Chain A
Amino acid sequence: MQWTMVTVIGNDRPGIVARVSAALFEHGCHLGEASMMRLGGNFTIMLMVGHDGDASEVEAILVPVTGPLGLRLHVDRIEGHLHDHLVPDVRVTVFGADRAGIVAQVTGLLAEAGLNILDLESDVGGSEQAPIYVMHIEGTVGEGLERLRTALAGLADTGIDIRVEPIETLIG
Chain B
Amino acid sequence: MALLEILAYPDPRLKQVSEPIAAVDNALRALIADIEETMRAGPGGVGIAAPQVGHFVRVVIVDVPPRKKSSSHGRQVLVNPEITEWDGMVIGREGCMSVPDYTGNVIRAERITLHALDEQGLVREFEMHGFEARAVQHEIDHLDGFLFLDRLVSRRNDLFRRKIYQAPPG
- Residues of A bordering B, CB below 8 Å: 83, 85, 87-88, 119, 121, 136, 167-172
On chain A, the residues within 8 Å of B62 by CB distance are: 172
Given A171-B42, A172-B45, A172-B139, A83 and B95 contact (CB-CB distance below 8 Å): no
On chain A, the residues within 8 Å of B97 by CB distance are: 171-172
Nearest CB of B to A92, in Å: 14
- Residues of B bordering A, CB below 8 Å: 42-49, 62, 92-97, 101-103, 131, 134-135, 138-139, 155-157
Q: Is the interface of A mostly helix, strand, loop or mixed?
A: loop
On chain B, the residues within 8 Å of A168 by CB distance are: 92-93, 131
On chain B, the residues within 8 Å of A136 by CB distance are: 156-157
Q: B131–A170 contact, CB under 8 A? A: yes
On chain B, the residues within 8 Å of A169 by CB distance are: 93-95, 103
In the assembled complex, the Cα of A168 lies from the Cα of B45 at a distance in Å of 12
Closest-by-CB residue of A relative to B64 is: A170
Q: B131–A171 contact, CB under 8 A? A: no
Closest-by-CB residue of B relative to A35 is: B155
On chain A, the residues within 8 Å of B96 by CB distance are: 171-172
Q: B157–A171 contact, CB under 8 A? A: no
In the assembled complex, the Cα of A119 lies from the Cα of B157 at a distance in Å of 13
Q: How many A-B residue pairs have CB under 8 A?
A: 53
Given A87-B95, A121-B156, A172 and B101 contact (CB-CB distance below 8 Å): no
Q: B156–A171 contact, CB under 8 A? A: no
On chain B, the residues within 8 Å of A170 by CB distance are: 46-47, 92-95, 131, 134-135, 138
Nearest CB of A to B141, in Å: 9
Nearest CB of B to A167, in Å: 5
A172 interface neighbour in B48, B156, B157, Cβ under 8 Å:
B48
Q: B93–A172 contact, CB under 8 A? A: no
Given A87-B95, A121-B156, A172 and B47 contact (CB-CB distance below 8 Å): yes
Q: B92–A172 contact, CB under 8 A? A: no
In the assembled complex, the Cα of A170 lies from the Cα of B138 at a distance in Å of 9
Closest-by-CB residue of A relative to B157 is: A136
On chain B, the residues within 8 Å of A172 by CB distance are: 45-49, 62, 94-97, 135, 138-139
Nearest CB of A to B69, in Å: 10
A83 interface neighbour in B44, B101, B135, Cβ under 8 Å:
B101
Given A169-B95, A170-B138, A119 and B155 contact (CB-CB distance below 8 Å): yes
Closest-by-CB residue of A relative to B70 is: A168
In the assembled complex, the Cα of A171 lies from the Cα of B62 at a distance in Å of 11
Q: B101–A171 contact, CB under 8 A? A: no
In the assembled complex, the Cα of A172 lies from the Cα of B95 at a distance in Å of 7
Q: A171–B155 contact, CB under 8 A? A: no
What would 8 A/B residue contacts be, using CB atoms closer than 8 Å?
A87-B95, A167-B93, A169-B103, A170-B47, A171-B46, A171-B94, A171-B95, A172-B96
6 nearest A-B residue pairs (beta carbon): A172-B47, A172-B138, A169-B93, A171-B95, A170-B94, A83-B101
On chain A, the residues within 8 Å of B43 by CB distance are: 171
In the assembled complex, the Cα of A136 lies from the Cα of B154 at a distance in Å of 14
